[in-house]
């Protein structure tokens, strides 16, 4: 890995163009498709709420299926609810090459996260069709279901979905099991969607950076070296609901006060050790929730991320210990659900080099970088080598209606994806 990395770093400037294959995607078409897709779940301030399994998600999925069919792909929905479009290769002994991403969004999300990679993967297939190019490898374009709710569709292919995960309630209000059925999957047949490690030739995913590094450094393409792992745990704080007017300040068991102290503590613990780890409390529910009642119960969502799983699990343990001490101080009781973890994944050094070379051949500047966001690629990494291509996010804004990537950057990313696929296929 070191050698490949040094080689990549040495060439991470706008490079003299090598001889690129003349094949290019239709950038206008991808950007038109992005605009059309953004109608499904559109919000007044811009962006979309197209959470997995919602009506908007179902509409977006049928739109994507239409595009995949137009691109000449043989489309089916696997038992996990992923949309899979296949294209035969000329060498039936070769394992399939996978490309894709997701089109579900967070609540009040943007029009680029997942969509850019999904529509560019479809565009790559469309370009191959129009230019009548048959790859040696079978190609699968996959739109994974429910990436935002825990990389569910891609996880089903690799790690699998256990009962606990199938019973989780998603943003749509449906459980993962119900939602998987709603999008055309069959949660009773999940084994048929599962793939064996070593059963794929590889997976490439194009995605917006979702941070501001590429734009700040005026770099066209990010070559992802690794994707962070993510830990989620629901934290319940139990106090005692009582009259807010008659209960003296020294006799309260205020769950929300404990929660506030806890949130501060999470920040202190996470920033208390060197490194790039991040920790967030992203949602909170207070009961009973009235001006004149001391909160008796709070439930909140804790998230930790880092490239090193041991590190964030260690931080989680430390946070739990701090919570116990806080609980004693305020006569409240903390409990944590078992952590749900998306494992970190490194991308393949050879794939990094292929992407870097493709960028170079197109005259793009590029650099190696980590991904602070989770991606389907980290689940697919269990099955075979993966690579990820980033394009700039203006202002580093994502999971927001203000998320934006320039049309030219999207076209560049799609061309880098196409050239990478062609180069991989020729190896
Ligand atoms: C996915 O977008 C994530 O990083 O939460
Ligand atoms: Mn996202
Ligand atoms: Mn995404």
Bridge partners (DSSP) listed for residue 305: 230, 278
DSSP string, 98-151: EEEEE----TTB-SSTTHHHHHHHHHHHHHHHHTT---SS-EEEEEES-STTTS
pTM of the model: 0.89
In angstroms, what CA-CA distances link 83 with 69, 72, 99, 241? 11, 14, 12, 48
Separation of CA 375 and ligand 3 centre (Å): 6
Instruction: Using the predicted structure, report yes or no on whether residue 2 has a pLDDT greater than 60.
Output: no
CA dihedral of 70, 74, 80, 81, whole degrees rounded to 10: 30
Instruction: Using the predicted structure, report yes or no on whether residue 10 has a pLDDT greater than 80.
Output: no
Ligand 1 pocket: which of 106, 341, 390, 398 to mutate (most atoms <8 Å of CB)? 106
Instruction: Give the residue, by CA position, lying nearest to ligand 1 atom 1.
Output: 374
What does the alpha-carbon distance between residue 378 and residue 385 come to, in Å, rounded to a whole number?
10
Kindly state the average pLDDT of the residues 80-89: 98
Nearest atom within ligand 1 for CA of residue 106: 2
Do the Cβ atoms of 316 and 229 come closer than 8 Å? Answer: no
31: helix, coil or strand?
helix
In angstroms, what CA-CA distances link 158 with 71, 106, 253? 27, 23, 45
Ligand 1 pocket: which of 109, 152, 230, 371 to mutate (most atoms <8 Å of CB)? 230
pLDDT tens-digit series, residues 339-355: 999 999 999 999 999 99
Instruction: Using the predicted structure, report yes or no on whether residue 20 has a pLDDT greater than 70.
Output: no
Sign of CA dihedral 419, 420, 426, 427: positive
**22: confidence class by pLDDT, cuts 50, 70, 90:** confident
Pocket of ligand 1 (CB under 6 A): 148, 373-374
Q: Which ligand is nearest to the CA of 100?
A: 3
Separation of CA 19 and ligand 1 centre (Å): 36
Instruction: Using the predicted structure, report yes or no on whether residue 15 has a pLDDT greater than 50.
Output: no
Separation of CA 263 and ligand 1 centre (Å): 21
pLDDT tens-digit series, residues 273-317: 999 999 999 999 999 999 999 999 999 999 999 999 999 999 999
Do the Cβ atoms of 150 and 303 come closer than 8 Å? Answer: no
378: helix, coil or strand?
helix
Q: Which ligand is nearest to the CA of 372?
A: 1
Nearest atom within ligand 1 for CA of residue 228: 4
Do the Cβ atoms of 222 and 366 come closer than 8 Å? Answer: yes
Do the Cβ atoms of 412 and 391 come closer than 8 Å? Answer: yes
Q: How many CB atoms sit inside 10 A of residue 133's CB?
A: 12
Q: Which ligand is nearest to the CA of 231?
A: 1
Ligand 1 pocket: which of 48, 118, 399 to mutate (most atoms <8 Å of CB)? 399
Q: Tell me phi and psi for residue 367, to 5 degrees.
A: -155, 155
The predicted pLDDT at position 114 comes to 98
Do the Cβ atoms of 190 and 79 come closer than 8 Å? Answer: yes
**Which is more confidently placed, 21 or 191?**
191
Nearest atom within ligand 1 for CA of residue 147: 1
Separation of CA 264 and ligand 2 centre (Å): 25
The predicted pLDDT at position 262 comes to 98
pLDDT tens-digit series, residues 113-150: 999 999 999 999 999 999 999 999 999 999 999 999 99
pLDDT tens-digit series, residues 215-247: 999 999 999 999 999 999 999 999 999 999 999
Residue 54 carries which DSSP code?
Answer: S
Ligand 1 pocket: which of 149, 374, 377, 400 to mutate (most atoms <8 Å of CB)? 374
- Contacts with 370 (C-beta within 8 Å, 6 or more apart), sequence order: 224, 225, 226, 227, 228, 276, 307
Instruction: Please give all residues whose CB falls under 5 A of ion ligand 2, grouped by chain where several chains appear.
Output: 113
């Amino acid at each position: 890995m070191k050698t490949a990395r040094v080689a990549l770093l040495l060439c991470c400037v706008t490079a003299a163009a090598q001889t690129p294959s003349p094949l290019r995607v239709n950038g206008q078409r991808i950007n038109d498709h992005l605009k059309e897709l953004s109608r499904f779940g559109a919000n007044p301030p811009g962006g979309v709420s197209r959470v997995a399994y919602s009506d908007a998600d179902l509409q977006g999925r049928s739109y994507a299926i239409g595009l995949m069919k137009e691109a000449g792909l043989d489309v089916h929905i696997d038992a996990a609810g992923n949309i899979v479009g296949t294209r035969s290769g000329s060498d039936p002994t070769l394992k399939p090459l996978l490309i894709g991403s997701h089109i579900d969004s967070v609540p009040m999300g943007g029009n680029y996260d997942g969509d850019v990679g999904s529509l560019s993967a479809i565009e790559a297939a469309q370009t191959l069709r129009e230019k009548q190019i048959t790859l040696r490898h079978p190609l699968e374009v996959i739109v994974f279901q429910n990436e935002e709710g825990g990389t569910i569709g891609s996880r089903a292919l690799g790690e699998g979905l256990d009962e606990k995960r199938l019973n989780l309630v998603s943003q749509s209000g449906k459980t993962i099991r119900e939602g998987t059925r709603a999008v055309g999957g069959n949660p009773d047949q999940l084994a048929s969607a599962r793939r064996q490690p070593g059963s794929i030739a590889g997976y490439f995913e194009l995605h917006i950076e979702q941070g501001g590094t590429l734009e700040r450094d005026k770099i066209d393409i990010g070559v992802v070296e690794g994707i962070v792992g993510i830990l989620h745990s629901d934290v319940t704080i139990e106090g005692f609901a009582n009259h807010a007017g008659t209960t003296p300040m020294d006799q309260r068991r205020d769950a929300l006060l404990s929660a506030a102290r806890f949130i501060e503590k999470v920040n202190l613990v996470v920033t208390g050790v060197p490194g790039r780890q991040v920790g967030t409390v992203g949602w909170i529910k207070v009961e009973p929730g009235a001006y004149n009642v001391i909160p008796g119960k709070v439930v909140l969502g804790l998230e930790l991320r880092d490239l090193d799983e041991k590190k964030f699990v260690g931080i989680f343990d430390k946070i739990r210990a701090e919570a116990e001490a806080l609980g004693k101080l305020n006569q409240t009781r903390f409990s944590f659900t078992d952590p749900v973890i998306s494992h970190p994944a490194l991308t393949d050094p050879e794939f990094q080099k292929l992407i870097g070379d493709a960028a170079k051949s197109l005259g793009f500047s590029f650099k190696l970088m980590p991904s602070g966001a989770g991606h389907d690629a980290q689940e697919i990494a269990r099955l075979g080598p993966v690579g990820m291509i980033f394009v700039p996010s203006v202002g580093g804004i994502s999971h927001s209606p203000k998320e934006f990537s320039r049309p030219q950057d999207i076209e560049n990313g799609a061309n880098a994806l196409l050239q990478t696929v062609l180069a991989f296929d020729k190896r």
